[in-house]
Structure 1
Amino acid sequence: MMARQFLLMLGKDARRSGYCFGDCVGVALKISEKEGEAEHSCIHLIYDYNLDGKWEKAKDETSDFFIYRMHQGRLQIHRSCSGLIKL
């Protein structure tokens, strides 16, 4: 993935972070790192992607979590928090 495309996607999701069609609970934006990774190398964004009024931590493409990170010199995007970082 090109860095420009990565940044465009990150910007789009960052603008949406925190949106909820109902009463969502939690932190909509968090910057952290996975154990053993560089400090501040992971950005968690959450928004009500499917408009069901809650933020879901699903382990597949239905997740409302969007995780952007730098891992071993590569840019990565994940749609769930499974296996990455405890929120």
Structure 2
Amino acid sequence: ALASYLRRENLISDTRIKVEDKLAFFLYMVSHNVSYEDLQLEFQHSGQTFHEYINEFFNIVPVLASRFLKPPNIDEPHPKISTDTRFYPYFQ
């Protein structure tokens, strides 16, 4: 579903390597904290290939963050504070 979303929104496009494979490179690198050398051994592509495609993902992280991450409302206290009588009087 994530690969389809990235393709549909033109954030990552298919080249000689499909979006699903590029996503697999990125997620494997981030989740396992591996280097480009480890990716080369695991996926059998050159270091330049990984550098290019991993950078594509790092470039779209701000776009994805602005679409999916919403900051909390800073004008209201946290629900745990507002429901606790020991703390809430200080935040009124």
With normalisation by structure 1, the TM-score equals: 0.24
Greater fraction strand: 1
If asked which structure has higher relative contact order (CA below 8 Å, sep 6+), I would say: 1
Structure with bigger gyration radius: 2
- Identify the structure with the greater helix proportion: 2
- TM-score scaled by length of structure 2: 0.23
